[in-house]
Amino acid sequence: MNTLIRRLLTIALLASGCQLAAATSPGEAIRPIQTQWAEIKYKLPEKQQAERYHALALEVRKLVETNPDMAEALIWEGIVLSSEAGAKGGLGALSLAKEARDRLEAARSLNEAALNGSAYTSLATLYAKVPRWPIGFGDMERAESYFKKSLGINPDGIDPNYFYGEFLVDNNRVAEARPFLEKALKAAPRPGRELADRGRRQEVQALLNKLNQEAR
């Protein structure tokens, strides 16, 4: 009898553990991905980044496969793939950019507000930076539309303000860009994302410094 009870308790505990694993929140599930991404982007030499992003993309794919309806996981797969494309460079990176676009569009369809509209921010950046047809799928009008949607969801966020400001600078709209870049510097810190915040603020400040030098 005691043996039977122990077995039943073991089964109950295992079932409880499975339920806890299934109940892991999207934020908890993607946190290791966010941490690794920031370490690659802001700590590794550029020459080493593409390979590490590729390995990280494989990790995120597993998370997506086990959680196909988790928009947050799809967003981070898109972010990692687009980061790998940027690190790889050249026309060979275009297929990665297309994969990233598809993941982000899928995430947007599931939940456009997930991660404070990050799908829109990342899609906008892709459409802004990828070459236009017939080489790629770049589209400045769609990029700006998506930037505005991301800012509508997260008006004070560091990423949408920085990337929209950068987009405006790249399109010779410097006067419009400054308020967004300055707002990005004032964005509230994101708990658990200290390295990413610090690195992004450095990028924002570097762009503002460049604009100030050019204005002299």
Q: What is the DSSP string of the chain?
A: -HHHHHHHHHHHHHHHHHHHHHT--HHHHHHHHHHHHHHHHHHS-HHHHHHHHHHHHHHHHHHHHH-TT-HHHHHHHHHHHHHHHHHH-SGGGHHHHHHHHHHHHHHHHH-TTGGGGHHHHHHHHHHHHSPBTTTS-B-HHHHHHHHHHHHHH-TT-HHHHHHHHHHHHHTT-HHHHHHHHHHHHTPPPPTT-HHHHHHHHHHHHHHHHHHHHHH-
Examine the pLDDT at 8 and tell me if it is beyond 60. Answer: no
Q: What pLDDT band is residue 4 in, cutting at 50, 70 and 90?
A: very low
Per-residue pLDDT at 3: 47
Per-residue pLDDT at 207: 98
Per-residue pLDDT at 215: 84
Return the higher-pLDDT residue of 64 and 89.
64
The arithmetic mean of pLDDT across residues 67-72, rounded, is 96
Q: What pLDDT band is residue 191 in, cutting at 50, 70 and 90?
A: very high
CA dist 167 and 81 (Å) reads 20
Per-residue pLDDT at 6: 42
Domains and CATH numbers, the chain: 27-139 (1.25.40), 155-216 (no CATH)
Examine the pLDDT at 22 and tell me if it is beyond 90. Answer: no
CA dist 172 and 166 (Å) reads 10
Per-residue pLDDT at 28: 93
Which percentage of the chain shows pLDDT scores above 70? Answer: 89
From 211, 138, 128, 209, select the one nearest 171 (Cα to Cα). Answer: 128
